[in-house]
Every structure is written in C-alpha cells, then in structure tokens.
Amino acid sequence: MMTGNHHAIEIRELHHVYAGPGGGDSIAALRGIDLTLPAGQFVALVGANGSGKTTLARHINGLLLPTHGQVQVNGWDTRDRTAWPHIRAQVALVFQRPEDQIVATTVADDVAFGPENVGLPSEEIERRVRQALETVHMWSCRHRLPHLLSVGQQQRVAIAGALALHPTYLLLDEATAMLDPAGRQEVEALLQRLHAQGMTIVSITHRMEAVVPADRVIALAAGRVAFNGTPRCFFADADRLAELRLAPPPAVALAIHLRRYFPDLPTDILTVEEIATALARMWPGEPTDFSSPSSSLLCKTIAGDCPPAVTVEGIQYTYMSNTPLATTALMDAQMEIHTGEVVALLGPTGAGKTTLLQQIAGLASPQMGRITLFGRDLEELRADHHTLRQWVGMLFQRPEEQLFETYVGDDVAFGPRQLGLDRDAVRERVRWAMEMVGLPFADYKDRFTQSLSGGEQRKAALAGVLALRPRLLLLDEPTAGLDPQTRRDILVVLERLNQDAGQTIMIATHNMEDAAELAHRVYVIAEGEVIMGGPTRRVFCQQDSLVSLGLESPAATVIAQALRKRGLPVPMDVLTLDELEAVLQVSMKRRGDAL
C-alpha cells in the first residue's frame, strides 16, 4: 500500500541491529536515521568504515528491513512484501563487492538478468544490454566468463546490470573503488549525465574528490547522521572532517595549509581550478616562470645497488589458452625489484597487475619466461613450498576475505603455526604483527573477526601476512574501499616496514597518491606488457603518457601543473601536497627577498 511522498525516499527513525557473531553482543548499525531524499538529487553518502553506509543503502531497496522505524520509496513501504517488486523496479543498487551480484555465466547474460526478471521483451533486453555494456566499455567482453574478469572489470559489469534496469534511483556502494582513473572518471561523468537527465543518484564513496559535484552530502558516524548539507559547507570544517575520520579533497587540503601564508584565501575552495586561480591572484608581485626550487631534494632515497629480490624475464600467461575464450594477461613482461625497495605496479583495469603478482607469489606458473626470487628460480621454490611461503607474503584484493578464524588472534596466528613454530614464538609474532598494524594485541586478540569494522578487518588480514615475516610483501590494491584515515594508517604501516625493517614491497594500485607516497620506483603495465618504468618522480612527470593509458598523475602534480600554467614558480616533479606546500613556501620567500 502506498503512503507518504510519491516522489522521494523517506526514512523515519530507522534503526538496524545485527545479531552478534557466535551469539555475542548484537551490533547497532543504524541508530535513528531521519532523512528525506527528493527525486532528482545527487547525494554523496560518506563516513568512516563501519559507520552504517552500506546498511542504509540496503534498506533503501528493501534488501534489509528495519529493526525499528520505516523506509518508503515513492510511497511504497519496504516492510510490505507486496511492494518489493515496485521498489526494486525503481531502485538499483551496485554492491561494494561486484562478485556478490554477478549470477550468470557470461557478461551479457548477467546484464540481461534484471531486465529478464521484470518481463521485458527480448528485443528490448538485447538493446538495453548492448547500451549498458557500451556505456561502461565492456561490450567487447560480452561473451567472457565474469569470474575470469579483474575486479575492476566486474565492477563495470555490475554497473551495467544496474543501468539496464533504467531505475529511478541508482545507489552505488563504492562502485568505482577498483577502477583505474580513466574508468572512474568515465563512471563519474556518466553519473553526472544520468543526474542531468533526472535520475536520483546516491553514491557511497571514500573518494572525497567525487563528493565535490554532489548536490548534497550526508555523513554518517556510528549509525547516526552527523552532517546533512552542501559540499562547500561540509569541507569548510576541517575539525569535523577529522572527527569523522575523513579528509578534504587535495585542493581543499592545500588551501587549508596555505592560509597560514595567505589569510585571505577563500574558505570555500573545492577544485584545482579554484585554488590555482586564487593563488595566482594573491601571489606577491607579478607571477613569473623564474627558476623554482626543485622538489628532487625531497624525494625518497632509492635502494641503490642492493641485490635483486625479484627478476621477471619474458613472462607470458594466457587464461583459458587454446580455447575460443583465451585471454592473454601477460606478454613478455620484464622487470626487476631490488631488496629494500618499494615498487608500485600501475596500469588500467585488466592490464595484468594481479596476474603478475600471483605469478611472483608462485600461485600460478608462467607459460613462458622465468622468475627468480632472491637468486633462486621460482619453479624450484614452488617445489619447496615451506620456503616459498616464508619468503613471499601476499595480501589479495579485498583481503578481509582472507579472514576465516573466529578470533582475530587465531587468524593472525594461523600462518606462523603452519611454519611449526612453538607456542611462545607464535605468540610473539602475533603480538608484533598486530601492534605493527595498529590493533593492540591485548585489546583485539580475543575479538570476533566478523565484529571488526571494514578497516579493522583489512588491518587484521595484513597482520596475518606480516606474522609470517616474509622477505617480499606483495599487496594488491591494499587501500581500496578504505576511509581516508584508515588508508593513512595502512600507508604509515607500510612506510615503517620499509624504512625501519627494510621490507621489500611490491604494490599494485590504482591510487596514484599511494604510489607517490610509498614507491621508490614505478612500473606501468598495459595489455599485459610492461611499457614504462623508472623512478617514481620521473614516471609521474609524463602526464600525457599516463593519461593516454587511462592513468593520471598524483593530485599534487596536477595542482602544481595548474599553478605553473598561471606563471607560479612551481617545479614539475612535485608528488605530494607536503612537497607542494614546501616549494611554495620557499618560492614566496625568494620572491619576497627579490622584491
């Protein structure tokens, strides 16, 4: 039965309580949410991991029902089973984990699943499937098996499946977290177009740049609404962002730091163009392109002449080789990682990054080529499984899925126990690993793994790998889907491991800031080939080449280039906001002395 507003999502006194794992204490995920989302808005839903965002989204399309309170979609109450077909025809949800909603054996059949279930004619289904897959650039993969796609490609398929329903309300739960920069920009541009056409968009995101174009920001904290207003108002309060474990977009963050030098800098800056224009207007004297201080003095020290930890020579790998569905993932891949280095592996979605990490970890054998680890042939090491697992630790995409024990301490201890260590040695390794990732041993060892927040689960999974004390640490998108503060926590852990313990790290990522902050060197893969490599600073200066590959430079580099175009004395090779602030400070001092 329909009641209330027929053109809005109305949420009243919404509470949701999950039963505690193992019969433990229940978990209150939502605590009295009151919201009205009028049709036609673009809403960004933000908050720290575990704040209740996903739970709220699943209430909007009736996947979850209120413990207490009410949710109505265009007047249809989600508690009324007879309303579910109407609600699901109007509300499409793209899950945080695309594999959770992929049900068919080919990409095209999966996108067709929704339209088929609402009884559309076959001709209309075919038209919608093609249109949706072309929109997300996956039409060429329509006959492929979804489980053999990269996670980023699976996200595109899930988005296509939602678009094929032509919903009134489109909800996306971190739907671009695993996409490369070009793919993410395409999806974000698509959302803007759909919004302009009248579709209501609710986008859950930890990427603060994606919040900027929204009409409205709703921030959750501990299951309650902590903010409901415009992006400019939201980002103007740095203290509130810190309390919510969030962070401002790069342009806003730079503006906050530069106000100590420019007190009159506008407080509502949001974009790169806005801060570049404001700084050019306020710069002391006439902007000019005189020689600027080089940021190279600030760069990381490369590992020098250390011996190679990994050598990859001519690796080739094809999935489902000798079949009509054969897909080449790696072609003649070549690279070298030195002991003590952090090396970032960049590339568009489906480029072969994960496949290469799995090859180096010994989880699959190359069909051609050779890999050596610390001077030993990997094929020999595969026969010595015990040594291989001691030498190489790998954290997979969405590593919280690696957790399987009931208690955190037991999960972290699993690896060391398989090495045959005695009880005291296992306990010491577990304690060290948990403390290293920021999960105090005494507080977390007896916690249920499934009671942890998403960020805590990511840390626990990393601790389980670190407890093996591997010589080589392989990380596949380790910060994807994390709130800004938890991402920062993970980066600090990795930096400490490298700088204090000399840990050799290889990280595959779509986050250019992660690579800029951590990596000594960068390799870029496209269509299975290593096509670019070198010191991080040098690679990121090649912005045109990166953009042509669907990548981008770090935000600080982009801002620096915008400032240079306006005549400000900023070097081209800036990588981080801290560097950019430092060189601007030195430039202002030089300018002041010259005047």
Question: Which pair of structure tokens corresponds to residue 594?
Answer: 């010259």
User: 514 and 411: one domain?
Assistant: no
pLDDT(289) > 60: no
Choosing from 450, 470, 490, the residue where a domain stops is: 470
Residue 2 falls inside a structural domain: no
pLDDT(4) > 80: no
Q: What is the DSSP letter of 483?
A: -
Q: How many helices (H) and strands (E) does the chain have?
A: 23, 20
Q: Please name the residues in contact with 428: beta carbons below 8 A apart, sequence gap of 6 or more.
A: none
User: 170 and 214: one domain?
Assistant: yes
Q: For 154-185, b where at least 16 C-beta lie within 10 A, e where not — what string?
A: bbbbbbbbbbbbbbbbbbbbbbbbbbbbbbbe
Q: Which amino acid is at 239?
A: D
Residue 548 falls inside a structural domain: no
- Cα distance between residue 157 and residue 485, in whole Å: 29
321-351 pLDDT tens trace: 888 878 889 999 999 999 999 999 999 988 8
- Cα distance between residue 433 and residue 438, in whole Å: 9
Average pLDDT for 351-378: 92
* 5 membership: H or E segment, kind and range: none
Average pLDDT for 478-505: 91
User: 210 and 262: one domain?
Assistant: no
C-beta atoms surrounding 436 within 10 Å: 18
Average pLDDT for 153-173: 92
Residue 177's pLDDT is what? 83
pLDDT(25) > 80: no
How does the average pLDDT of the chain come out, rounded?
89
Average pLDDT for 287-309: 54
Please tell me the pTM assigned to this model. 0.84
Residue 546 falls inside a structural domain: no
pLDDT(295) > 50: no
pLDDT band at 592 (very low <50, low <70, confident <90, very high): low
Q: Determine phi and psi for 449, rounding to 5 degrees.
A: -60, -35
Residue 266 falls inside a structural domain: yes
Residue 202's pLDDT is what? 96
- Cα distance between residue 97 and residue 151, in whole Å: 9
User: 387 and 513: one domain?
Assistant: yes
Which stretch, 1-15, 124-138, 271-285, has highest mean pLDDT? Answer: 124-138
Bridging pattern class, strands 8-18 and 91-94: unpaired
- Cα distance between residue 30 and residue 60, in whole Å: 13
Which stretch, 181-185, 283-287, 382-386, 461-465, has highest mean pLDDT? Answer: 461-465
User: 142 and 280: one domain?
Assistant: no
Q: How far is CA 435 from CA 58, 442, 459, 493, 497, in A?
A: 34, 10, 10, 10, 12
Provide the number of structural domains found in the chain.
4
Choosing from 470, 490, 514, the residue where a domain stops is: 470
Question: Which pair of structure tokens corresponds to residue 424?
Answer: 């005291």
Nearest to 238 by CA among 210, 260, 223, 216: 260
Residue 201's pLDDT is what? 95
Contact 349, 152 (CB under 8 A): yes
User: 328 and 461: one domain?
Assistant: no
Average pLDDT for 42-60: 94
Residue 293's pLDDT is what? 42
102 or 454, greater pLDDT:
102
**Longest pairwise C-alpha distance within the chain:** 76
377 or 283, greater pLDDT:
377
Residue 181 falls inside a structural domain: yes
E strands along 223-326, which residues? 224-229, 308-319
User: 194 and 66: one domain?
Assistant: yes
- Cα distance between residue 464 and residue 473, in whole Å: 12
Residue 23's pLDDT is what? 60
Residue 128 falls inside a structural domain: yes
Residue 3 falls inside a structural domain: no
- Cα distance between residue 149 and residue 287, in whole Å: 49
Residue 594's pLDDT is what? 47
Q: Please name the residues in contact with 413: beta carbons below 8 A apart, sequence gap of 6 or more.
A: 426, 427, 429, 430, 467
Residue 585's pLDDT is what? 83
Domain containing residue 211: CATH number: 3.40.50.300
Q: What is the DSSP letter of 23?
A: G
Choosing from 454, 470, 486, the residue where a domain stops is: 470
Average pLDDT for 536-565: 90
Q: Which domain holds residue 589?
A: 250-297+555-594
Residue 593 CA to its chain's centroid (Å): 44
User: 184 and 310: one domain?
Assistant: no
User: 208 and 327: one domain?
Assistant: no
- Cα distance between residue 365 and residue 219, in whole Å: 46
pLDDT(298) > 70: no
- The percent of residues in the chain predicted with pLDDT above 70, rounded, is 93
pLDDT(572) > 90: no
- Cα distance between residue 570 and residue 40, in whole Å: 42
User: 486 and 528: one domain?
Assistant: yes
Q: Please name the residues in contact with 460: beta carbons below 8 A apart, sequence gap of 6 or more.
A: 400, 403, 408, 411, 412, 434, 437, 439, 444, 449, 452
Residue 549 falls inside a structural domain: no
pLDDT(105) > 70: yes
E strands along 48-148, which residues? 68-73, 76-77, 91-94
247-269 pLDDT tens trace: 999 999 999 988 888 888 888 89
Average pLDDT for 83-98: 89
pLDDT(493) > 70: yes
User: 271 and 370: one domain?
Assistant: no
User: 526 and 441: one domain?
Assistant: no
Dihedral angle of Cα 377, 380, 386, 388, to the nearest 10 degrees: 20
416-467 pLDDT tens trace: 999 889 999 999 999 999 999 999 999 999 998 887 877 888 999 999 999 9
Which stretch, 146-160, 288-302, 348-362, has highest mean pLDDT? Answer: 348-362
